[in-house]
Amino acid sequence: MEEYLDSFVCPITHDVMVDPVVASDGHSYERTSITQWFRSNSTSPITNAVVHHKHLVPNHALKQAIHEFRDRFAPFFDCDKSSKRPVPGSTPVLLPMLEPLPERGTFLYVVVEQPMPVYVAPSFVTAQSTSFPVNTIILGKERLYGEDNVIFVELSGHHEGQYVRESTRDGTPCLQRLEIVHTLLAFVITRPTPLSLWPSPSVPSNSLYKAYPHDIVSIEATVVDLEARTYGRLEQSKLWVHLDDWGPLIRLTIDTNPQLYLLPRAMDLCSNANNTNLGVPLIELPAFSLVKSNAAVSLDSSTTFVRTTVPSSHGNESDLHGWLALTDVAPLENPPPRIAEGPAGKLIQLVLQQAGMMALVLDEVQETGDVSQRMFMRHLPRRFERQLFNCVQKGMARTQVCRPLVPSPRVGRRIHRMALGPRGEWYCSGAKPDGTGDCCWASDDVPPRFRAEMEPNSLVTFGDNNEYAMVLGSGGVLSSNISTSLLHRLKRARRVHMMLLARYGGYVVKDNLGMDCSGLDPEFEAALRERPRGAGQICTGKPCACMASPRC
């Protein structure tokens, strides 16, 4: 008679059903137990498959059969020796729920005491024929309460979607938790080494995942089993390798001293030091990117594997950690110049005229906050060129000058303003780094009034036929032979950023009111008014050249 009782028992409570119902998975359950199950689950307790709906249909035939069975075989039914099941209506002993579950993560256990059966759901009636021997390491991804409040573990890796239990119904442990130690190790592979999704002392040689000779692999976590065997998880992956088998693995020394590297070309940042078949490209870093290492491994004199962190471009995403394989790239001995802040055009002074006359002065902001200057000059009037050198070398011994790019001394004066006219007339101004000792100089062929009234740090432009305009450093405007509209514009402006005089009375001026052009070459005016997207604001200009800042 016992063989007939299995169909009368609820798979969840293991009690003979009083009000059996049929769920969408086709199985019958006690109404109260399956209703409670569906409150926190959308899967079948037996198959673990997602149910299409949670509607319940009364199983009248089964209910009647249970009733008839109890009436006919009541003496046998109530006898302890006639049934393996509890008496209908008895309450199973539930374990206390001491932990806030479910909990997701990475959980490693080792099977203890006796082999562990595998379940298709967090229920004791769903056991399969599969079981794990004692001392097997198993990997789980979620802990949750199952039948009788016993904690079940959903497996990961080879047995995705299956379950094991942490204890028996009476609370006796079946699994022992293993501690995962987060670290950073690196190894070079000497012979083909199989990898596995679970830590295991023996992995079949035909494993789908392998590391090959000369591969570099980085390890992000280790675990030690009850027999003191150590396993490592490859960085940013689910693959494990047995680390005690030193034959195929040679440990490398990791240098954690921060270093700066300049990438010679675009390179992929990979999830693992192994960038051949195990590391996944995370992002491409453009050529000439500057990266700071937090770990580095040297394979030989020419190859270095560098681990770095790339900040996320989105605030809600975490930073990217990865490896670069650098060949013949040495770390920088000195830090690069600090990135200049503000409009680039305000750190650049350019004068340009016909016949190839040119002077370019670049301000460089140092790590200390000091500003040094570099000059590039070509075909300038000799006295103008000499005056620029004298300005930056004021008070210093003669320094050898190398063209075309010359770093100026950090003491002496810095050039603040320059102007060059179409006939070779010129003006320049400079001051000491602390702002004192400001001076200005001009060529002998400027108009006498210009020379008499010029001031340091003035904005100057020259035109044809003795035309000039000068916005004085102390305020005010001096001019000669310029158009009335330009003169009125200069006098109204609170701040003039750039101005130039062109042929036949043409001009362009940029001030706090905006930009005004008149009588310019059409192509040059179009370049001024219709700058390419992202070019920023015009900072300086000449009839055949203009400077635009990428940020303003």
CATH, residue 127: 2.30.30.40
pLDDT at 455 over 90: yes
Tell me, yes or no, whether 284 lies in a domain: yes
Which of 474-488, 504-518, 535-549 is least confident? 535-549
Q: Does residue 429 share a domain with residue 375?
A: yes
* 459 located within any domain: yes
What value does the mean pLDDT of the chain take? 81
**Rounded distance, CA 306 to CA 322, Å?**
8
User: 527 and 402, same structural domain?
Assistant: yes
Whether 348 and 323 share a structural domain? no
Judge if 321 and 399 occupy the same domain. no
CB 119 within 8 A of CB 126: yes
Tokens found for residue 395 = 């008070």
Task: Say whether both 9 and 109 belong to one domain.
Answer: no
Do 387 and 311 share a domain, yes or no? no
What does the pLDDT read at residue 109? 94
Q: Are residues 168 and 111 in the same domain?
A: yes
Tell whether 66 is covered by a domain. yes
Looking at the fold, whether 18 and 140 belong to one and the same domain comes out as no
Question: Do residues 376 and 316 both lie within one domain?
Answer: no
In a domain, 212, yes or no: no
Q: Where are the alpha helices (DSSP H) in 41-100?
A: 60-72, 74-78
Parent domain of 39: 2-82
Please report which confidence band the pLDDT of residue 546 belongs to, taking 50, 70 and 90 as the band edges: very low
User: What total of structural domains would you count in the chain?
Assistant: 4
User: Based on the domain organization, do 62 and 135 belong to the same domain?
Assistant: no
Check: CB of residue 165 under 8 Å from CB of residue 95: no
Q: What is the pLDDT of residue 431?
A: 86
Model confidence pLDDT, tens digit, residues 15-39: 888 889 998 888 899 888 888 888 8
pLDDT at 164: 92
Residue (of 436, 440, 541) closest to 497 by Cα position: 541
Question: What pLDDT score does 409 carry?
Answer: 41
Q: What is the reported pLDDT for 297?
A: 93
pLDDT tens-place string over residues 281-306? 889 999 888 899 999 998 888 889 99
Res 65 pLDDT > 70:
yes
Residue where one domain finishes, among candidates 273, 297, 327? 327
In a domain, 195, yes or no: no
Contacts for 366 with CB less than 8 Å, ≥ 6 apart: 337, 338, 372
Residue 334 lies in a domain: no
Do 426 and 297 belong together in one domain?
no
Q: Which amino acid is at 246?
A: W
Give pLDDT tens digits for 92-121.
567 788 888 889 999 999 999 889 999 988
Residues in the chain: 552
CATH number at residue 50: 3.30.40.10
Q: What is the mean pLDDT of residues 186-199?
A: 89
Identify which of 389, 387, 487, 395 has the alpha carbon closest to the alpha carbon of residue 437. 395
**Rounded CA gap, 32 and 13, in Å?**
10
pLDDT band at residue 396, thresholds of 50, 70 and 90?
very low
Q: Which of 82, 112, 145 is the last residue of a domain?
A: 82
Does 202 map to a domain? no
Same domain, 312 and 404: no
pLDDT tens, residue by residue, 321-353? 999 999 989 898 876 655 555 555 567 888 878
Which of 178, 200, 218 is the C-terminal boundary of a domain?
Answer: 178
Instruction: Please tell me the distance from the alpha carbon of residue 75 to that of residue 550, in angstroms, as a whole number.
Output: 95
In a domain, residue 204? The reply is no
**Mean pLDDT of the 152-180 span:** 89
pLDDT at 185 > cutoff 90: yes
pLDDT at residue 89 greater than cutoff 50: no
In the predicted model, is pLDDT for residue 81 greater than 50?
Answer: no
SS3 80: helix
